[in-house]
Amino acid sequence: MKEANRQNMVNHRAIPVVDLHQYDSTGADGNSPFVKALGNAFREVGFVGIVNHGVDTSLIDAFYEASNRFFGLPEAIKWNYEIPGLAGQRGYTSFGKEHARQSDVADLKEFFQIGQDSPPPGGDPSEYPSNVVVTEVPELSELGARLYQSFEQVGRKLLSAIALYLNLPVNFFEEKVDRGNSILRAIHYPPITREPASAIRAEQHEDINLITLLVGASAGGLQILGKDGMWLPVIPEENEIVVNVGDMLQRLTNNYLCSTTHRVANPPRDEWHKPRLSIPFFMHPRSNMDLTCLPGCVDENHPPAWAPITAGEYLNERLREIGLKK
């Protein structure tokens, strides 16, 4: 019996899983099985695993490989691709620059970011700076642009299902995220070479955006904070994308959908020598999207929990809090 209990604990998933093949937005409504499963996962857990998502695994692998080659370059070369004034929204951000908003201790990571190629009609060009091309690893940009587009397609599909779950038109988010400020980030956590004073690879935090799509990291460590206050490991299956609610979607839905606290914990000491690479896609809307709580998520028992703000204003506020913007 004890062995069976241990096995059940090993097999228990911290987050539910849904199959994107089961969703067809044509004719779907809030009662379709996929929509209900996705929406319930976002409401109850804030995280979900997506299988049969359609993102080319060979493209993911190639981008991983190119990212590893970039992070393996000498520091002096990588610094050439850290562009002042961009708040880390394009190109390289060196080790120790970003921290959680409630902490002054820097996370144990460096990263490279790729953004939208061109502004939408009438959009502010200053919000869409050019992506940074790495001379030493030129394929990083080309592969990143393709992966960006693939993630964007999946994200739009998921948001259409969430719109239905919220009793909104299926295309509610479409114009808002079309050429939005989404970011593809390659995050490198180097080997830990000495006892960290108090830092972990990524301190507990919530994401800024609408939703985040994360392909399986090269090593474990991702944990979510359960409602009982316990940290639960998120261990995706092969070819599974982990998707979570960001603060913008939580604000928009007046806390109906939850932006769950998560972190990347340090590995056991005997695995400190192992680096970690992960590839999240942070799906943002255009800056002018109004994040005022949706009327359908407000009633006598649930007054607005958040003041009105635009997505651009909120993004700038959060970038300052985490140390990327002055």
* Average pLDDT, integer, range 157-177: 97
Instruction: Dump pLDDT digits (tens) for 246-286.
Output: 999 999 999 999 999 999 888 888 888 889 999 999 999 99
**Is 49 a residue whose pLDDT tops 50?**
yes
Instruction: List the structure tokens of 236.
Output: 């995706």
**Is 6 a residue whose pLDDT tops 50?**
no
Looking at this protein, which amino acid is placed at residue 255?
N
Burial class (CB in 10 A: 0-12, 13-18, 19+), 40: middle
Instruction: List the structure tokens of 258.
Output: 């939850």
- 3-class DSSP state for residue 311? helix
Instruction: List the structure tokens of 137.
Output: 């690893």
Q: Output the pTM of the full model.
A: 0.92
Q: Rounded to an integer, what distance in angstroms lies between the CA atom of residue 254 and that of residue 171?
A: 20
For 75, residues 6+ apart whose C-beta sits below 8 A from its C-beta are 94
**Is 8 a residue whose pLDDT tops 60?**
no
Give the confidence band of 322 by pLDDT, cuts at 50, 70, 90: confident
Architecture of domain 13-321: Sandwich (2.60)
pLDDT of residue 106: 80
List helix spans (H) across 102-168.
139-165
Q: Rounded to an integer, what distance in angstroms lies between the CA atom of residue 184 and that of residue 279?
A: 7
